[in-house]
Structures are given as structure tokens and as C-alpha cells.
Amino acid sequence: MQKRKKNWFKRPPAITVVAWAIVLLFLIRLYQVIEPLVGSGILQNGVSGPLFSGGRLTDLGNMLLTSSSYLALSLAGLVVLVAFLRMQRWSWVVLMAWTAISLLITLINYFYGDPNYLVMASNTIIAVALNQADVQRIFGIRTDTGEHIQHSA
């Protein structure tokens, strides 16, 4: 019986770097989901107070909303990661926009005295890697003169 040869597609190193940076950001966001919930005792005791008071969020409500938004971002990041590794064109566009917005937010936080250097560094690495000519060509973002890109349906 003859063994099948595995034909693994070799990705450029920049794509691997971006994938690992996304995994790092996922883990950071997951920590940002769990840490406030553990610190306030919500995971152990459940919600023990009102979420709204006078039409506004309480501190507890604000914490739950923040943790929920980080959870949504984490899950969306995993979807984008899978699409990026499958080299879907839309994932490059979403990831570039997401990185730009995230970098802007971390820079604003930096100037207000709440820097997150790990997220800032990860976003910078992702932005640089996504702008590599080889990566842009693979995703159909950049073409050289005379080069024709076929888009898959």
C-alpha cells in the first residue's frame, strides 16, 4: 500500500507572525474578560447587585458590559484568524481595519496614562506584517505592473 504524500501549503513567515500575534491578542482579551469577573466575585457568587441605577449603568453593569464586549472581540478574533489562515481576502481587510482601530485606541489610552504595551506592540507587528508586499499579493490586495490576480468565487 502506497502512502499518500502530504502537500502542505507553505505560508510566508509574515502570515505566521500575524497568526501568532492574533493568538496573543486573543489570550490578552480573554484575560480582560475573566480577570474583572474573578476580582469582583461574580464567577464565584453570581451577580449580586443591580446593573442599572437611575437609567445608568452601575459599576457592576459597566464591568459586565466591558467583559462582554471583550468576549465578543475575542470570539470575532478567532473567526478572523481562521479566515486569515485560510487566506480569505476579506480577512486581510477586516484585520487591517481592526488593527488600525485597536492601535488608535491603545495610543489614546497611552496618552491618558493607561498604556497597554503588549497590545500596542502586537498591533504594530500585525500592521507591519500585513503591509508586506508578499502578504498583500497573496490576499490580492496588491498587484505589480502587468500582474493579473484571479479572484476565487
DSSP 97-131: HHHHHHHHHHHHHHHTT---HHHHHHHHHHHHHHT
**What does pTM read for this prediction?**
0.73
Residue with cell 459597566: 62
Residue-wise pLDDT tens for the chain (153 aa)? 565 555 455 777 888 888 888 888 888 888 888 888 888 878 777 777 777 778 888 888 888 888 888 889 888 989 999 999 888 999 999 999 999 999 999 999 999 998 989 889 989 999 999 998 888 988 888 877 665 655 555
Distances (CA, A) of 131 to 35, 69, 151: 34, 28, 20
Cβ atoms of 138 and 152 within 8 Å: the answer is: no
Euclidean distance between CA atoms 55 and 72, whole angstroms: 24
Residue 129 burial (C-beta neighbours within 10 Å; 0-12, 13-18, 19+): buried
Cβ atoms of 122 and 130 within 8 Å: the answer is: no
